[in-house]
């Protein structure tokens, strides 16, 4: 691969990796929704995969259990209230974020394969374009996740006391720089693919042998 194109691929990998770190922090932490300071009445935080409470009881819970601490959404402790704390739109956001996770892992693998010349040159251009497309799709999925969560969380999570006093937390907002990194990485990957194709087409021309 041409040296210039290789440098752009490395740049794409670095930017994508930074975005992936932001993504993982958002994906794996439980602060997508938080109460305002001094306003929580049992609800502490909500993430994609866990909910945290402090001596909280849900009035629709037939068992009237008191929930305290952080639990995974599929924990047996939440069996009685899962339909309220885990609505269908939340499951959709989880699914979209999981698809983004798979896409970004695939993109990082592609960058490594291209950088270490483990791919035949005739496939590099198309492979980089696919990686760029995956970056753009992942950024789109993440943006959709933010929009859906923002529009639905405060309206549908009526089990949260004083839900008008809840705000999106840092786990929600840290996904924004991840989206920007994925978009920038996609653009630089397209640049690398075009540069590679141009350099490859401008390669040395064979001089016919004359006896």
Residue 211 predicted with pLDDT over 60: no
**CA distances from residue 30 to 9, 34, 122 in whole angstroms, order as listed:** 33, 9, 44
Over the stretch 88-138, which tens digit does the pLDDT of each residue have?
A: 899 999 999 999 999 999 999 999 999 888 878 788 999 999 999 999 999
**Res. 12 pLDDT band, cuts 50 70 90:** very high
CB 196 within 8 A of CB 50: no
Residue 209 confidence (pLDDT): 41
pLDDT at 65: 86
pLDDT for the residue 85: 82
* pLDDT tens-digit map of 14-38: 999 999 999 999 999 999 988 876 6
Q: What percentage of the chain exceeds 70 in pLDDT?
A: 87
Q: How distant, in Å, are the alpha carbons of 18, 24, 131, 200, 205 from that of 186?
A: 13, 18, 7, 21, 32
Percent residues over pLDDT 90 in the chain: 50
Fold of domain 3-37+85-201: Butyryl-CoA Dehydrogenase, subunit A; domain 3 (1.20.140)
Arithmetic mean of pLDDT, 41-68: 85
Mean pLDDT, range 179-198, rounded to an integer: 94
CA gap 156, 168 in Å, rounded: 14
Query: How many CA atoms are closer than 13 Å to the CA of 2, on its beta-carbon side?
Result: 18
In which band, very low, low, confident or very high, does the pLDDT at 207 lie, cut at 50, 70 and 90? very low
The per-residue pLDDT for 130 is: 96
> Does the structure show a pLDDT above 70 at 160?
no
On average, the pLDDT of the chain sits at 86
3-state SS record for 119-180: CCHHHHHHHHHHHHHHHHHHHHHHHHHHHHHHHHHHHHCCCCCCHHHEEECHHHHCHHHHHH
Residue 38: its pLDDT value, please?
A: 62
How far is the C-alpha of 151 from the C-alpha of 149, rounded, in Å?
Answer: 6
The whole-number average pLDDT for the span 173-191 is 97
Neighbour order of strands in the sheet with 50-56: 67-72, 50-56, 43-46, 33-35, 166-168
- Give the highest mean pLDDT range of 78-82, 91-95, 154-158: 91-95
pLDDT exceeds 60 at position 204: no
């Amino acid at each position: 691969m041409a040296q210039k194109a290789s440098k752009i691929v490395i740049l794409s990998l670095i930017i994508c990796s930074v975005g992936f770190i932001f993504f993982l922090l958002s994906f794996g932490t439980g602060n997508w929704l938080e109460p305002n300071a001094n306003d929580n009445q049992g609800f502490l935080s909500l993430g994609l995969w866990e909910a945290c409470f402090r001596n909280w009881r849900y009035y629709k819970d037939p068992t009237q259990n008191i929930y305290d601490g952080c639990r995974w959404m599929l924990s047996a402790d939440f069996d009685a209230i899962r339909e309220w704390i885990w609505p269908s739109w939340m499951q959709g956001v989880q699914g979209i974020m999981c698809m983004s996770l798979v896409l970004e892992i695939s993109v990082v693998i592609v960058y490594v394969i291209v950088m270490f010349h483990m791919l035949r040159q005739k496939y590099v251009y198309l492979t980089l374009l696919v990686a760029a497309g995956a970056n753009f799709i992942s950024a789109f999925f993440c943006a959709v996740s933010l929009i859906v969560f923002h529009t639905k969380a405060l309206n549908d999570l009526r089990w949260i006391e004083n839900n008008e006093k809840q705000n999106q937390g840092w786990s929600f907002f840290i996904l924004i720089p991840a989206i920007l990194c994925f978009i920038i990485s996609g653009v630089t990957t397209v640049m690398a693919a075009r540069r590679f194709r141009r350099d490859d087409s401008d390669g040395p021309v064979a001089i016919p042998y004359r006896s």
